[in-house]
Structure 1
């Protein structure tokens, strides 16, 4: 059954990763787009905290956690993104539905293996502007559209060095396309102008992680986590065309190599396993090395970014036979980050509150995780855009035992 589920979602993901528009943010015009992946639904509900080792849930932020799995786990997650975009003069609403990740984790004794696909960043915006005279007649129309993004296929492996310490690495292949279009039409000018920019993106990067846990007074557990991603290169094959009166003119543009910034994340957690846990995490990323896809894109500079995460979970009674609600996992968290973009000399910041529940399937270890995210990014002042968002995240985690040697032939 689980193999059929994997094949079905694999086909769905292959279609969605090529076709989905995963953001409605004008800020996705810059850099490599709007970085969407912030962990599985379980981690995202806790503000992105990923320090906890879990035997039945995948942790895609630290590859060391693959060695903590005790059951083969298949995870898939998606989101409904609802955004209100504001300026000092206008307000618009946008809605997107996206598939966020598809992954499998397999325990092999002290080893753990994970692989999957993740839509990492997205470009998706539509901006139209009209200039009118005093009588309301249109003098000029301009428009800006963008679509595409970067996907990751990854393979990771972890080893349990001791009962307290795991080490893991993963390799990620990045691929995708980004297409942006701008047009301008003026009254009295016969022909409008359309400029199209196209980038085909590819490149490899790696992550390495440590996960530590130790008992304190038998009842409580202390967790620690460290993840490092070295700087990597993304190769961009660029094309540009300008169309005037149906005449297409190919413009010479240079292919580029962008630096995917190095990143380090470390955190700690404390609590009573299968009852409650609370943790915090700090992520530092060298975003000042990031550039735009074309050398003539202006209006933004990049700075190093920092993300703070705080969250945890609570389970009233994980093995209760009398009450289903006591077996539900309740999660919550906070996240704050400066995104690394500086526009109009203003750092673009992002703050969110997360909460949700994990609902078990009857007497199995499989579960449905439902999360909610309320947040704000940017500002409507300084000629910028404020994004107020409400996201609904849904994740499925299926668990089973594989590679079990039969006792009888």
Structure 2
């Protein structure tokens, strides 16, 4: 069974390892920093700072994974399929996209310590932009076509440690890595000048860390609880290098082929705080707030202005009323959520904000499997932005709960 799960996990990575954000805004910086998580958290509006569960790993706050039984291991693999519509000056571009969202594993090391490991996207870059540039010394314009692809991913390990009965701490270490290809095609359209193609391949890498805390107080009825969780991420420096190749398409002559070092590139310092309330094991409400300190950061490839980003998230989870059920539908978990993201950069002095609403379903399957399905509708560029994006996405994640590290007894 374990081999089958591993094969399934790697198969899903192959299927979903494509861009998940065909956004013109992914031209800026190292790409779009979309909220990436398993389908449960995404269906709850992207919350997770104060969520725990006996059947889902929470990769958003490493301190929350303290409820699993000894000998239990959980595998989590998930992806997203998205339909994106971009509108600008009356023109529309529509595309289907897909990507993996998460591949993770978690298990208890000691009665008070829990370990996780994960692979997730950090950012994605996928854009096609047409523009014009002036021909020096004339009033004419020539077309310029910009394309980009790639992104940054991260591999992470996390530890949760239960300090007290109601209080735990967590630590996550990440290695961010990945490459972005930027292509610029200049169609001069002159008999004396050839078309020019410039390709930049940039590779980034850098380590980051996250600290978290989690407090959960069970109320007198033993069926209700209040939880508070928070995280803090230090500013992460990404080192990078690139290659630039310039060719003239008419004769395929290479004019430039050089290596260069990318200037200082950073992921921002950030903090978040969240709370959740579980009511008599019937339903749970959750709320998160995150702040990311982008102000003052700058990237060498693009020169937009950054400002501090705030994300406000809400979620509601309705739990099964029967612990022992004969029909799968009796064990369904229903989820609703919404979030508002102020964005973190300005284009033509306009903030690029985003709103997203979500709904989801947790479906218990046989042999310890749990299928989480979520739907989200979002709008990016709400504040009179030049480019407006609407998207529909389906998030899927499959959890497998199994007993490991236990001896087999024969009678």
TM-score, structure 2 normalization: 0.90
Which residue does the alignment assign to 2:55? 56
Report the Cα distance in structure 2 between the residues aligned to 1:288 and 1:129, rounded to whole angstroms: 28
Distance 1:145 1:155, change over 3 A: same
Is 1:200 aligned to residue 200 of structure 2?
Answer: no
Q: Report the secondary structure of 1:186's partner residue.
A: coil
Match of 2:343 among 339, 342, 348: 339
Which residue does the alignment assign to 1:21? 19
Contact 1:37 1:100 survives alignment (8 Å): no
Contact 1:183 1:195 survives alignment (8 Å): yes
**How large is the Cα RMSD of the aligned pairs?**
2.2
TM-score, structure 1 normalization: 0.91
Match of 2:152 among 138, 150, 153: 150
Contact 1:37 1:119 survives alignment (8 Å): no
Which residue does the alignment assign to 2:112? 110
Is 1:319 aligned to residue 317 of structure 2?
Answer: no
Report the Cα distance in structure 2 between the residues aligned to 1:158 and 1:201, rounded to whole angstroms: 29
Q: Report the secondary structure of 2:201's partner residue.
A: strand
Is 1:400 aligned to residue 385 of structure 2?
Answer: no
Q: Report the secondary structure of 2:9's partner residue.
A: helix
> How much does 1:320 deviate?
4.2
Which residue does the alignment assign to 1:368? 371
Q: Report the secondary structure of 2:343's partner residue.
A: strand
Contact 2:208 2:234 survives alignment (8 Å): yes
Which residue does the alignment assign to 1:247? 253
> How much does 1:156 deviate?
0.9
C-alpha deviations, 1:364-391, integer Å up to 9, x for none? 5421011000010014945x21000100
Q: Report the secondary structure of 2:165's partner residue.
A: coil
Q: Aligned ranges for residues 58-97 of structure 1 at < 5 Å?
A: 58-70=57-69, 71-97=72-98
Q: Report the secondary structure of 2:66's partner residue.
A: helix
Report the Cα distance in structure 2 between the residues aligned to 1:408 and 1:284, rounded to whole angstroms: 55
> How much does 1:283 deviate?
0.3
Q: Aligned ranges for residues 228-247 of structure 1 at < 5 Å?
A: 228-244=232-248, 245-247=251-253
Which residue does the alignment assign to 1:358? 362
Report the Cα distance in structure 1 between the residues aligned to 2:384 and 2:164, rounded to whole angstroms: 53
Q: Aligned ranges for residues 236-275 of structure 1 at < 5 Å?
A: 236-244=240-248, 245-248=251-254, 249-250=256-257, 253-272=260-279, 274-275=281-282
Report the Cα distance in structure 2 between the residues aligned to 1:405 and 1:316, rounded to whole angstroms: 33
Which residue does the alignment assign to 1:134? none
Q: Report the secondary structure of 2:164's partner residue.
A: coil
Match of 1:30 among 23, 28, 31: 28
Count of aligned residue pairs for this structure pair: 396
Q: Report the secondary structure of 2:60's partner residue.
A: coil
Which residue does the alignment assign to 1:6? 6
Distance 1:293 1:360, change over 3 A: farther
> How much does 1:39 deviate?
2.0
C-alpha deviations, 1:307-340, integer Å up to 9, x for none? 0000020024142425432310000101101120
Q: Report the secondary structure of 1:56's partner residue.
A: coil
Report the Cα distance in structure 1 between the residues aligned to 2:242 and 2:189, rounded to whole angstroms: 32
Which residue does the alignment assign to 2:44? 46
Match of 1:124 among 114, 122, 126: 126
> How much does 1:140 deviate?
4.4
Report the Cα distance in structure 2 between the residues aligned to 1:2 and 1:273, rounded to whole angstroms: 35
Query: Gaps (5+ residues) in structure 1?
Result: 132-138
> How much does 1:52 deviate?
1.6
Report the Cα distance in structure 2 between the residues aligned to 1:201 and 1:397, rounded to whole angstroms: 31
My pick for the range that moved more, 238-247 or 101-110, is 238-247
Q: Report the secondary structure of 2:295's partner residue.
A: helix
> How much does 1:97 deviate?
1.2
> How much does 1:12 deviate?
5.1
Report the Cα distance in structure 1 between the residues aligned to 2:11 and 2:397, rounded to whole angstroms: 17
